[in-house]
Amino acid sequence: MSGPATPPATGPLTGTTVLDLSRALAGPHAGMMLGDLGARVIKVESAAGDDTRRWGPPFVGPEDDPQATYFLSCNRNKESVSLDLKDDDGRATLEALVADADVLIENFRPGVMDRLGLGFERLHALNPALVILSISGFGHDGPESHRSGYDQILQGEAGLMSLTGSGPDDPQRVGVPIADLLAGMYGAYGVAAALAERERTGRGQVVRTSLLAAVVGVHAFQGTRATVAHEVPRAQGNHHPSIAPYGLFRCAGGQVQISVGSEKLWASFVEAFGLGDRVEGLETNAERVHRREDVIRIVEEAFAAYGPADLLARLDAAGVPAGKVRTLDEVYAWEQVASQHLRVDVDHPVLGPVTLPGPAVRFFGTNGAETTRLEHTPPPTLDQHGAAIRAAARGAADAGAGAAPAPATGGGR
């Protein structure tokens, strides 16, 4: 097949081709992560396009061609081709793409790919080296595998909402679709591992994850509270359940966050604010957690004399980890964010120059030179690259019609 319709990228996955058949967020986020690492990502959409193209407001751009900012958030560094997978021509084009690909991502409900004639056995018959990432809501097997998975439903079902909120009777969702995003991250991690194993075996495999698995996978110490200590963790607002003081505290004209995560830090904190005569019986973290309300009161009384800026400076001088709560406009205007390449500028075919949130991982060679992908492409318009991709797929299918089967040593690298 001919090369990509966009300039080649740099990164550890340069030369890897990914077919992204997924919709909404979990699968597209995984595909975008692989694209950030240098892979060529071909987004395969229906004639109507990914559902997120219509998720808004907000929409931006011209009234006759509005662009959903939701779609823009999870589809950078991709090409788009529109295919009807229920149609013979559409399936034939996809099969030609599969034969030349390294990775395929799908997040249809379990069984849908089989009904389309594109089950895992068929895909691996076309390309034994193909790594398939399959993301579901509740898992691909088990008594509730048939259920549709949507982020907020899984935040509740997987226990996250019971841990989030002002108190036990105030369950709250996280402010981003964290179940979707985590499933995408775990999926990309699984793909990277499967590609590494393929270097040894020459064969692909199926990587499965789910929104349920992704949330349970980040229960961390709250999970072991339940499974080992046999406690039932519940929401308790903006204070850490196992460390004190650690959380959001009021001060004059605002709030700051502090993290006193060791006894050494506690000693520094007590000295910095002259609290030696007020903290008897609070020498250990366990004592402070047990008397959390007393600790909060003492800390906020000490903070009442300081505005946020002065307080943060004092905490910094004392070596106590602290910070403020920024709005997103403040985050993207922050010089530290810019220094980490967490803003990327792209030229969108409809919107012109726009700024997107950037990738979270950077790479450096043994000589210290950065090898991170720094040039990014905008999220594609629907079928933007379709003509070139379909023509290349037809050419590859025609060229391979009489050829001997390729060895199972890789896809389109």
Residues with a known catalytic role: 180
pLDDT in tens, 346-377: 999 999 999 999 999 999 999 999 999 999 99
pLDDT in the model for residue 407: 40
Q: What is the CATH number of the domain that holds 318?
A: 3.30.1540.10
Q: What is the CATH number of the domain that holds 203?
A: 3.40.50.10540
pLDDT in the model for residue 3: 45
If asked whether residues 50 and 179 sit together in one domain, one would say yes
Last residue within a domain, chosen from 294, 323, 352:
323
If asked whether residues 194 and 261 sit together in one domain, one would say no
Cα 85–Cα 92–Cα 35 angle in degrees, nearest 5: 70
User: How distant is the alpha carbon of residue 301 from its chain centre?
Assistant: 39
Residue 268 lies in a domain: yes
If asked whether residues 204 and 347 sit together in one domain, one would say yes
If asked whether residues 250 and 347 sit together in one domain, one would say no
Integer-rounded Cα Rg, in Å, for the chain is: 25
What is the C-alpha to C-alpha distance for residues 77 and 98, in angstroms, rounded to an integer? 19
If asked whether residues 67 and 178 sit together in one domain, one would say yes
Residues with Cβ < 8 Å from 115, sequence gap 6 or more?
A: none
Last residue within a domain, chosen from 323, 351, 378:
323
Alpha helices in 304-385 (DSSP H): 308-318, 328-333, 335-339
Torsion from C-alpha of 392, 14, 17, 341, nearest 10 degrees: -110
If asked whether residues 181 and 274 sit together in one domain, one would say no
pLDDT in the model for residue 412: 43
Q: What is the secondary structure of 238-279 as a DSSP string?
A: TB-SSSSSEEEEEETTEEEEEE--SHHHHHHHHHHTT-GGG-
Q: Looking at beta carbons, which pairs linking 170-173 to residues 24 or more positions away fall under 8 Å?
A: 170/235, 171/235, 172/235
Q: What is the secondary structure of 104-125 as a DSSP string?
A: EEE-PPTTHHHHTT--HHHHHH
Residue pair 285/243 in contact (Cβ under 8 Å)? The answer is yes
What is the C-alpha to C-alpha distance for residues 300 and 304, in angstroms, rounded to an integer? 6
User: How distant is the alpha carbon of residue 81 from its chain centre?
Assistant: 23
Residue 241 lies in a domain: no
pLDDT in the model for residue 411: 45
All residue ranges of the chain with pLDDT < 70 are 1-9, 400-413
If asked whether residues 109 and 77 sit together in one domain, one would say yes
Residue 411 lies in a domain: no
Residue 328 lies in a domain: no
pLDDT in tens, 222-251: 999 999 999 999 999 999 999 999 999 999
What is the value of pTM for the model shown?
Answer: 0.91
Closest CA to 378 of 362, 354, 342: 354
Element (H, E) at 130: none
If asked whether residues 24 and 140 sit together in one domain, one would say yes
Element (H, E) at 200: helix 178-201
Last residue within a domain, chosen from 285, 300, 323:
323
If asked whether residues 200 and 272 sit together in one domain, one would say no
pLDDT in the model for residue 358: 96
Q: Which domain holds residue 262?
A: 246-323
Q: What is the 3-state secondary structure (H, E, C) of 134-167?
A: EEECCCCCCCCCCCCCCHHHHHHHCCCHHHCCCC
If asked whether residues 68 and 205 sit together in one domain, one would say yes
pLDDT in the model for residue 110: 87
If asked whether residues 162 and 291 sit together in one domain, one would say no
Residue pair 373/38 in contact (Cβ under 8 Å)? The answer is yes
Give me the number of domains the chain comprises: 2
